[in-house]
């Protein structure tokens, strides 16, 4: 799980072009949206694509993302339970 | 007066306006379900032409436009070869599918496509391409009106079209913006839009008032305004759309309006935003309708197609019903109906909004209805303004990231931008710095020109939709619209002003200034940030910007 979280942080930084951030700057339980990293609706869609591309998880309803993208910790939990690759 | 000389539409519902009108009255829709398409794994609902055979020497996109232009002009005396006849092309992605097989092809660029079309139809003057995302078809009417009023041309021939293939459809799929069913504008159960194909042509001329017939269609006013809010999501308060409406509704008797033809894409946010803008503008008692349930969202054609259908509807004393609408699903009460209704009124408002935060509105009337619509009379003809230079800034082929780090540094969104937006963003920041602002200056309009447009980002997006690796990226797709750079600049600075992107075959300040001066005939504009931004690849780019002030009206330049 720890390795997955680390991997996920690097993938998020790369996919969302968070150039000034390093993986260690993202806390496992810090909110990704709103105050956290200041991500927006396009970033949420990009995270949906990230999950599909890297973990084979398809979210057809973007509203489902809200709960899953709360934090890296929550996201990692969801991925480990639902990944198909 | 700016009068319609002729109009023509071709859609999957019919090859001309009469056939389309018959289909519309009968409640037919061109929307069909497409699945099992190897290049698009997910099924989708769209309105598409069956005939996909191009003319020799032309792409499919060019073929549709060439044919429609020939048909539209055949019955007219328009001299296509005259240097006073201007061809304006309205499209979001033109020949984009060529990139699938040849990433290096110049033919994918809209100015090249426009030149190919112009050559076949016989236009000799250099075409102007309007690439303002989904508002292109109305933005093209606005600039045509201004250029005619400025005396830059005698006749403006506007054509709008887009081909709905892999590139655009996969992009909207990645945005989760497509409905799995025929779309339902303004309905409580609406789930998104459908893509559509159409070609629409409108020919406008500036004619002395006494030569305009009472039944002729007159383009009275138009405005383009930015939300300054977000590059893909519309303003939650309808700010830009409201301001565009406010601009065209001054002293208008709204009881003379037959309807407001909304954008009505059937995405949750668009329709809600429009309900707010329409209500804020005081149009809550005017019937509202949308045509996307018949044709889908026809992108570059939408503004022209929907304007022409609205004219036809008024000519036939009808408010067309909003197909797909059943139960109101916006937070404010609008006069919406699924059924057609009779009307005796002879004027309407057309609205569009698009990515990049842009919004457009136009006011159309039959000449005979103008006294009732504008009881205080028409405003005096706008003068062609002179523009005084406040500051200039240019840069080319340098490291934009270094410039950002050294000179700006406080806007991490910079890293998300494509090369065109990075270029326009940095250049505009440094231009404004040179202008030594006090913070009290009026917000300028943002009017930019480019040749390659979003090509860099188009290629990056194309790489995400390869058949063997199909993961369309929404964050890349959004930048495949060249006008996003104008939106980024408006968002950064909080400017609810006009934002426009035009594509030209080369940097030519005379040409750019003639368009900018005409655009500045908008009475609400006093300053403009304008110029050239071109990034054909990541290491080769040029920005050449000017901040100009509308100095005084020089009526001596004005030719009727």
B463/A contact by beta carbon, under 8 A: no
SS3 of B537, please? strand
- B504 vs A20, higher pLDDT: B504
Boundary of a domain, candidates B373, B398, B415: B373
Nearest Cβ partner for B473 among A41, A46, A62: A46
In percent, the amount of chain B with pLDDT more than 90 equals 92
Model confidence at A61: pLDDT above 90: no
Asked whether residue B361 falls in the same domain as residue B406, the answer is no
- Model confidence at B559, pLDDT cuts 50, 70, 90, reads very low
B143 dihedral zone (left: phi>0; alpha: psi -120 to 50; beta)? alpha
Contact B46, B32 (CB under 8 A): yes
Boundary of a domain, candidates B349, B373, B397: B373
pLDDT reported for residue B555 = 44
Asked whether residue B265 falls in the same domain as residue B391, the answer is no
SS3 of A65, please? helix
Q: What is the DSSP letter of B209?
A: G
Q: Please state the domain count of chain B.
A: 2
C-alpha B461/C-alpha B478 separation (Å) is 9
B314/A contact by beta carbon, under 8 A: no
Distance from CA of B132 to the nearest CA of A (A): 20
Q: What is the pLDDT of residues B277-297, one digit of tens each?
A: 999 999 999 999 999 999 999
Residue in chain B closest to A21 (alpha carbons) equals B412
Cα four-point dihedral sign B56, B62, B66, B72: positive
Question: Per-domain residue ranges for chain A?
Answer: 2-82
**CA nearest to B17, candidates B291, B295, B309:** B309
Residues of chain A contacting B412 with CB distance shorter than 8 Å: 18-20, 38
What are the φ and ψ backbone dihedral angles of B248, each rounded to 5 degrees? Answer: -90, -10
Boundary of a domain, candidates B373, B403, B420: B373
Mean pLDDT in residue range B118-145: 98
- Model confidence at B333, pLDDT cuts 50, 70, 90, reads very high
C-alpha A8/C-alpha A5 separation (Å) is 5
Instruction: Classify domain A2-82 at the CATH class level.
Output: mainly alpha
Asked whether residue B460 falls in the same domain as residue B337, the answer is no
Asked whether residue B324 falls in the same domain as residue B412, the answer is no
C-alpha B159/C-alpha B136 separation (Å) is 10
Contact B329, B186 (CB under 8 A): yes
Asked whether residue B397 falls in the same domain as residue B365, the answer is no
pLDDT reported for residue A64 = 86
* B495: CATH: 3.40.47.10
* Within-domain flag for B379: no
What is the span of the domain harbouring residue B403? 385-557
Mean pLDDT in residue range B208-224: 97
Residue B329: both structure tokens together: 């699903």
Angle at B283 between CA B280 and CA B285, to 5 degrees: 125
Q: What is the pLDDT of residues B3-41, one digit of tens each?
A: 999 999 999 999 999 999 999 999 999 999 999 887 898
The mean pLDDT of chain B is: 95
Asked whether residue B405 falls in the same domain as residue B334, the answer is no
Asked whether residue B357 falls in the same domain as residue B439, the answer is no
- B104 vs B24, higher pLDDT: B24
Model confidence at B525: pLDDT above 60: yes
Mean pLDDT in residue range B245-267: 98
pLDDT reported for residue B552 = 64
pLDDT reported for residue B556 = 45
pLDDT reported for residue B492 = 97
B268/A contact by beta carbon, under 8 A: no
């Amino acid at each position: 799980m720890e390795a997955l979280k680390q991997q996920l942080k690097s993938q998020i930084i790369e996919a969302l072009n968070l150039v000034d951030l390093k993986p260690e700057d993202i806390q496992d339980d810090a909110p990704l949206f709103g105050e956290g990293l200041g991500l927006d609706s396009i970033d949420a869609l990009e995270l949906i694509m990230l999950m599909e591309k890297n973990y084979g998880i398809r979210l057809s309803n973007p509203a489902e993302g809200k709960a899953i993208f709360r934090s890296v910790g929550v996201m990692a939990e969801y991925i480990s339970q639902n990944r198909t690759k | 007066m700016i009068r319609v000389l002729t109009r023509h539409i071709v859609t999957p519902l019919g090859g001309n306006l009469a056939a389309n009108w018959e289909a519309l009255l009968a409640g037919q829709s061109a929307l069909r379900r497409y699945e099992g398409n190897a290049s698009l794994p997910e099924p989708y609902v769209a309105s598409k032409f069956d005939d996909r055979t191009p003319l020799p020497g032309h792409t499919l996109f060019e073929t549709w436009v060439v044919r429609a232009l020939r048909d539209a002009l055949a019955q007219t005396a328009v001299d296509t070869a005259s240097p006073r006849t201007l061809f304006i092309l309205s499209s979001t992605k033109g020949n984009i599918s060529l990139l699938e097989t040849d990433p290096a092809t110049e033919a994918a660029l809209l100015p090249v496509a426009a030149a190919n079309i112009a050559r076949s139809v016989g236009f000799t003057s250099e075409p102007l391409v309007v690439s303002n995302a989904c508002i292109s078809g109305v933005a093209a009417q606005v600039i045509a009106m201004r250029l005619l009023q400025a005396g830059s041309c005698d006749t403006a021939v506007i054509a709008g079209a887009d081909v709905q293939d892999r590139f655009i459809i996969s992009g909207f799929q990645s945005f989760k913006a497509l409905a799995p069913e025929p779309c339902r504008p303004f309905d409580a159960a609406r789930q998104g839009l459908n893509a559509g194909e159409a070609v629409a042509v409108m020919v406008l001329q500036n004619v002395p008032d006494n030569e305009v017939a009472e039944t002729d269609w007159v383009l009275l006013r138009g405005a383009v305004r930015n939300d300054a809010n977000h590059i893909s999501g519309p303003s939650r308060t309808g700010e830009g759309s409201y301001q565009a409406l406010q601009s065209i509704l001054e002293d208008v008797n709204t009881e003379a309006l037959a309807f407001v033809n909304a954008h009505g894409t059937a995405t949750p946010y668009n329709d809600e935003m429009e309900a707010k803008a329409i209500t804020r503008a005081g149009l809550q008692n005017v019937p509202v309708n949308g045509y996307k349930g018949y044709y889908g969202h026809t992108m570059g054609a939408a503004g022209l197609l929907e304007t022409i259908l609205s004219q036809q509807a008024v000519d036939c004393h009808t408010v067309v019903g909003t197909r797909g609408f059943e139960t109101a699903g916006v937070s404010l009460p609008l006069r919406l109906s699924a059924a057609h209704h009779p009307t005796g009124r002879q004027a309407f408002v057309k609205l569009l909004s698009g990515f990049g935060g842009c919004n457009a509105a136009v006011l159309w009337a039959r000449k005979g209805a103008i006294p009732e619509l504008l009881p205080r009379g028409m405003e005096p003809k706008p003068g062609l303004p002179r523009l005084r230079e406040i500051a200039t800034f240019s840069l080319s082929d340098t490291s934009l990231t270094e410039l950002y780090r050294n000179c700006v540094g406080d806007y991490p969104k910079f890293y998300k931008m494509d090369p065109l937006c990075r270029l326009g963003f940095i250049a505009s920041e440094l231009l404004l710095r040179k202008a030594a602002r006090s913070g009290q200056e009026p917000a300028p309009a943002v009017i930019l020109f480019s040749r390659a447009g979003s090509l860099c980002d188009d290629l990056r997006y194309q790489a995400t939709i390869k058949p063997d690796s199909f993961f369309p990226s929404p964050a890349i797709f959004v930048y495949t619209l060249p006008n996003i750079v104008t939106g980024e600049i408006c968002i950064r600075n909080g400017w609810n002003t006009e934002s426009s992107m035009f594509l030209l075959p080369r940097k030519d300040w005379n040409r750019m200034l003639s368009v900018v001066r005409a655009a500045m005939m908008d009475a609400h504009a006093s300053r403009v940030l304008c110029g050239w931004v071109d990034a054909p690849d990541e290491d080769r780019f040029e920005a050449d910007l000017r901040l100009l002030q509308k100095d005084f009206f020089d009526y001596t330049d004005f030719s009727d």
